[in-house]
Amino acid sequence: MANKDTTDPARMEKIVSLCKRRGFIFQAGELYGGLNGCWDYGPLGAELKRNLKDYWWRKTVQERDDVLGMDGAILTMEQVLVSSGHVGGFSDPMVDCKTCKARFRADNLETSPCKEKPSVCAGQSPKCELTEPRDFNLMLQTNFGATGDQIAYLRPETAQSIFCQYKNVLDSNRVKIPFGIAQIGKAFRNEINPRNFTFRSREFEQMEIEYFCHPDDGMRLTDEWLEERLKFYGEIGIPREKLHILDVPDGERAFYSKKTYDIEYEFPFGIQELEGVAYRTNYDLGVHEKGAGKSLVYFDEETKEKYLPHVVEPSAGCDRTVLALLCEAFDEETLTDEKGKEDVRTVLRFVPRMAPIKVGIFPLLKKNEEQVRICRSIQKSLQPWMTVFYDDGGAVGRRYRRQDEVGTPFCVTVDFDTLGENGDALKDTVTVRHRDSMEQERIAIDALPPWLLERVR
């Protein structure tokens, strides 16, 4: 087991700086000084996030027969969140420091830098004067309706709309238990100390599945979903050895949960949660049945059994996974040229299916009209299938490096061989250069789309 306290702030700083420099992630409202805990994804970040969400949807909904998708409202009725327990109890323990007026999460003091003296943690300087912990509700409330006298909340998780629509989905889709409902969407929490870049934000996205099942199957399905989710992380490029499974012990789980696994990743700032896989029993449907006064009981036509379905919930954070992808992909490789000169190459080693740009397309000489024409035509033929980037600025070596830095797995160069200037054998072929090995091979232009598609899906 890796040490939970192993951190590498220098590596994290480089990742944050690359994210800004190359347009992955910016602080929201930066122009005006920044909105704490909120982030904007720039062009490459938006592609990366979209690739993650699309792949999750494909694996969870499209390629399964037993999971349906939905897309619920962000604004949530007060009554829904009263029933779910969020209005009364969705809180973290908070302490105030009377000296510096800062607020901290009481359960994170040992990792929260003191505002006055960041070299020590909150409470550790003799000047610190911390209050007793108090509950701080994390929900963001808004006023609603023409007169603004109704209360609504920005949802703190996507799950509640799934529970509330469980019966509508069941009745309108002729599905049978076991089945799941999946959703990707924004959630909002007024976190006391947003930090570690996008890891703990006030606005973030979740990818959640509520899998409804017979009470006898809950425990088994929790283990099956855990395996399913670990497989998913492998497929997006997060190796199993960097993931840790925390079997949350009795007393630390939510009171209604019979089993909870936290899937954690070795971030440069420590081992932290990426996803929770929780067996929530029939707690959720139970509270909404009671709160709404309507039956949510399921009738099994075959066994003639009536029961309130149990739920297994794999709940992943989209932004946290994007951050894990960036941390995992970031690499600095020392290269030595023929003259023995050393140089550091920055590479994002994304698996191709996650890479924001799949292929860079370069004419060897930007002044050669024929090379440019062929590049543009290759670009057009690939654009319906994948993100491509045309670049004719500077030496080809430099262009490769720029693509390495944003994780583009393949670069295509059109050169004099493509034009047939060195014989017919290489006419209408291009050089494909591989990001990780930097090796090059010749491929016929016609063969390029299927060759690439096979590697980037």
Least CB distance from residue 357 to ligand ATP, whole Å? 25
Question: Where are any strands of DSSP class E within 113-256?
Answer: 134-137, 140-144, 150-154, 179-188, 203-213, 243-247
Least CB distance from residue 186 to ligand ATP, whole Å? 11
- Contact segment (CB under 6 A) with ligand ATP among 96-104, 119-127, 170-178, 274-282 equals 274-282
Long-range contacts of 300-304 (CB under 8 A, 24+ apart): 300/176, 300/177, 300/214, 301/176
**Shorter beta-carbon distance to ligand ATP: residue 319 or 417:** 319
Asked if 111 and 95 touch (Cβ cutoff 8 Å), the reply is: no
CA dist 349 and 74 (Å) reads 34
Q: Which one among 276, 314, 352, 356 touches ligand ATP, defined by CB under 6 A?
A: 276
**Shorter beta-carbon distance to ligand ATP: residue 243 or 411:** 243
Closest CA to 305 of 419, 216, 409, 399: 216
Q: Is 201 in the site for ligand ATP (CB under 6 A)?
A: yes
Least CB distance from residue 277 to ligand ATP, whole Å? 10
Closest CA to 362 of 408, 328, 405: 408
Closest residue to bound ligand ATP by CB: 317
If one counts every other C-beta atom within 10 angstroms of the C-beta of residue 184, the result is 21
Q: Which one among 160, 206, 222, 429 touches ligand ATP, defined by CB under 6 A?
A: 206
CA dist 289 and 50 (Å) reads 35
Least CB distance from residue 159 to ligand ATP, whole Å? 9
**Shorter beta-carbon distance to ligand ATP: residue 268 or 363:** 268
**Shorter beta-carbon distance to ligand ATP: residue 221 or 375:** 221
Contacting ligand ATP within 2-21 (CB under 6 A): none
Asked if 310 and 279 touch (Cβ cutoff 8 Å), the reply is: yes
Least CB distance from residue 272 to ligand ATP, whole Å? 7
Q: Is 86 in the site for ligand ATP (CB under 6 A)?
A: no
How many chain residues interact with ligand ATP (CB under 6 A)? 16
- The dihedral built from the CA positions of residue 163, 168, 172 and 175, taken in this order, carries a sign that is positive
**Shorter beta-carbon distance to ligand ATP: residue 51 or 201:** 201
Q: Is 353 in the site for ligand ATP (CB under 6 A)?
A: no
Token pair in block for residue 291? 């709160």
- Contact segment (CB under 6 A) with ligand ATP among 55-63, 245-253, 311-319, 389-397 equals 311-319
Q: Is 51 in the site for ligand ATP (CB under 6 A)?
A: no
**Shorter beta-carbon distance to ligand ATP: residue 37 or 363:** 37
Nearest-Å Rg of the Cα atoms of the chain is 26
**One symbol per residue from 210 to 249: x for binding ligand ATP (CB under 6 A), - otherwise; what is it?**
----------------------------------------
**Shorter beta-carbon distance to ligand ATP: residue 315 or 418:** 315
Contacting ligand ATP within 122-151 (CB under 6 A): none
* Three-class secondary structure of residue 208 per DSSP: strand
Question: Where are any strands of DSSP class E within 7-48?
Answer: 25-27, 39-41
If one counts every other C-beta atom within 10 angstroms of the C-beta of residue 361, the result is 24
What string of DSSP letters covers 410-451?
Answer: EEEEE-TTTTTTT-STTTTEEEEEETTT--EEEEEGGGHHHH
Q: To 5 degrees, how large is the angle CA 365–CA 370–CA 372? A: 55
Contacting ligand ATP within 368-427 (CB under 6 A): none
Q: Is 200 in the site for ligand ATP (CB under 6 A)?
A: yes
Q: Which one among 191, 391, 415, 417 touches ligand ATP, defined by CB under 6 A?
A: 191
Contacting ligand ATP within 312-341 (CB under 6 A): 315-317, 319-320
If one counts every other C-beta atom within 10 angstroms of the C-beta of residue 319, the result is 22
Q: Which one among 22, 167, 189, 259 touches ligand ATP, defined by CB under 6 A?
A: 189
Closest CA to 161 of 76, 61, 53: 76
- Contact segment (CB under 6 A) with ligand ATP among 161-169, 235-243, 270-278, 414-422 equals 270-278
Interface residues with ligand ATP (CB under 6 A) are 157, 189, 191, 200-201, 204, 206, 273-276, 315-317, 319-320
